[in-house]
Chains A and B, each alone.
Chain A
Amino acid sequence: AQTVTQSQPEMSVQEAETVTLSCTYDTSESDYYLFWYKQPPSRQMILVIRQEAYKQQNATENRFSVNFQKAAKSFSLKISDSQLGDAAMYFCAYRSSGANSKLTFGKGITLSVRP
């Protein structure tokens, strides 16, 4: 079974600075997808960024980018130019490549942004 580990329960960043959130996972599969979701106080799950395991290039979405290290099974999220609205819970998630398979989530990390 796949597992996702987020070992940092909380992190804090100064507004406009850069922060990196860590995630590791365990799988025996070679093809899969990885995601970062944001959950603000409203509890709505918002997809931040996705990465296909077969792609060597790291995904980027505006201020968000990932460092995907397949051999190390590491998938960290970098948030540049942090904004107050970035404050939320962030969850790392894994999904097998099979059609419509379930997501496996980490426990999440609470990110606070200092003005």
Chain B
Amino acid sequence: NAGVMQNPRHLVRRRGQEARLRCSPMKGHSHVYWYRQLPEEGLKFMVYLQKENIIDESGMPKERFSAEFPKEGPSILRIQQVVRGDSAAYFCASSPLSRTGPNSYEQYFGPGTRLTVT
């Protein structure tokens, strides 16, 4: 059973360009979370999605950032007109739908995408 997959692992963008980060959840998982880790910091929640729905976007910057999780395909975190302050590691985590079972509350993390804005 493949784990959470993220690509690319490393992404370099110039200021003003767009960045697209992709996340494929574990098989059978229908919930996806995005977190951002700035240098020397812990992970900060950005957005929580279910298939075709944004459930909680309280951690998303109001401008330039958007996320989607379509019925088919991976979840996408999109950053428009990137600035140097967007340089960070972006992690995706997935969890199963069911609330029952010992691991129903566990989030499984991908390896992250390191975004560098030059």
Report the minimal beta-carbon distance from B3 to chain A, rounded to whole angstroms: 9
Residues of A within 8 A of B (CB-CB), count: 22
With A95-B105, A103-B107 already in contact, the answer to whether A45 and B43 are too (CB < 8 A) is yes
Q: How long is the Cα–Cα vector from A42 to B114 in the complex, in angstroms?
A: 11
Residues of B within 8 A of A (CB-CB), count: 25
Q: Which residues of A contact B44 (CB under 8 A)?
A: 105
A102 and B43 within 8 A (CB): no
**Chain A 1-18 against B: per-residue CB contact (8 Å), 1 yes, 0 no?**
000101000000000000
Report the minimal beta-carbon distance from A113 to chain B, rounded to whole angstroms: 20
Q: Which residues of A contact B69 (CB under 8 A)?
A: none
Q: How long is the Cα–Cα vector from A6 to B41 in the complex, in angstroms?
A: 11
- Mark out the residues of chain A between 37 and 58 whose CB falls within 8 Å of any chain B CB in the assembled complex: 42-45, 47, 50
Chief secondary structure at chain A's binding surface: loop
With A45-B91, A95-B105, A107-B41 already in contact, the answer to whether A102 and B112 are too (CB < 8 A) is no
A102 and B95 within 8 A (CB): no
Show 6 residue pairs from A and B whose CB-CB distance is below 8 angstroms, ordered by the A residue. Answer: A4-B42, A43-B89, A43-B112, A50-B106, A102-B48, A102-B56
List chain B positions with a Cβ less than 8 A from chain A.
31, 33, 35, 40-45, 48, 55-56, 59, 89, 91, 93, 95, 99, 105-107, 109, 111-112, 114
Q: Apart from A44-B109, A50-B106, A102-B56, what are 20 other A-B pairs with CB-CB below 8 Å? A: A4-B42, A6-B42, A43-B89, A43-B112, A45-B43, A45-B91, A91-B42, A97-B105, A99-B99, A100-B95, A101-B48, A101-B56, A102-B33, A102-B48, A103-B43, A103-B93, A105-B35, A106-B42, A107-B40, A108-B41
